[in-house]
A and B are shown apart, each in its own frame.
Chain A
């Protein structure tokens, strides 16, 4: 079984829809992350959870709402998105609890298109 899984792999949604992205890690890690990857831009860290507690929120608009019910699952709830939110959303996990010194393991991403 792969270490980090994400569903769905592809998602097309209108600007008024509400949807959720799901991430699950099977590595026994303590920290989980959401990243946004847009064309020609560096990876943007959105949220960090450590032991189910949100430890970082990088000025992400409130139309993105993360949820971490336990150390293995991470969700990103989406509502009233904008076309510029179209991107690849990557989930990652790591052993790290408070910093970024451990390597992160990534899922395959969800390709989101907002119409």
Chain B
């Protein structure tokens, strides 16, 4: 069975602070994919990134960056210079060769002025 753990239930930061959302996963598959989704108050989950298990390069997209480390089974997400519009629930998810997509319980990020 596979599992995704997002230990941080809720994080509050002040605008312009950097914040890292943690994601730790468990799987027996050698080929798998990791995802991050954002769920703003409007409800729909918005896809942010997909990473396969063979690509450990870190990725940066604007203020967003992702750190994938197979050695620690982690796929952490950092927002640099956070903004109020970043307030949302963020989900990490894992999909393996033999297993369906498993979501973590999410981290609620609150960015205040």
Given A42-B102, A43-B91, A103-B35, 14 extra CB contacts under 8 A: A41-B105, A42-B105, A42-B106, A45-B100, A88-B43, A90-B43, A99-B97, A103-B47, A104-B45, A104-B47, A104-B101, A106-B46, A108-B42, A109-B44
Interface residues of B (CB under 8 A from A): 4, 33, 35, 37, 42-47, 50, 52, 91, 95, 97, 100-106
How many angstroms between the C-alpha atoms of A99 and B29 in the bound complex? 14
- Name the residue of chain A whose CB is nearest to the CB of B42: A108
Q: Which residues of B contact A75 (CB under 8 A)?
A: none
Determine the interface band of chain A, counting residues with CB < 8 A from chain B.
Answer: 20 to 34
Could you say which residues of chain A place their CB within 8 Å of the CB of B42? Answer: 108
Do A100 and B100 touch across chains, with their CB atoms under 8 A apart? yes
Known: A90-B44, A103-B47, A105-B47. A43 touches B103 (CB 8 A): yes
Among A45, A100, A108, point to the contact of B43 (Cβ < 8 A).
A108
Asked whether, in the complex, the Cβ of B45 is within 8 Å of the Cβ of A106, the reply is yes
Chain B residues in 8 Å Cβ range of A48: 100
Closest to B32 in A: A101
Which residues of chain A are within 8 angstroms of B4 by Cβ–Cβ distance? 42
Indicate if the CB atoms of B95 and A101 lie closer than 8 Å.
Answer: yes
Q: Does A53 contact B (CB under 8 A)?
A: no
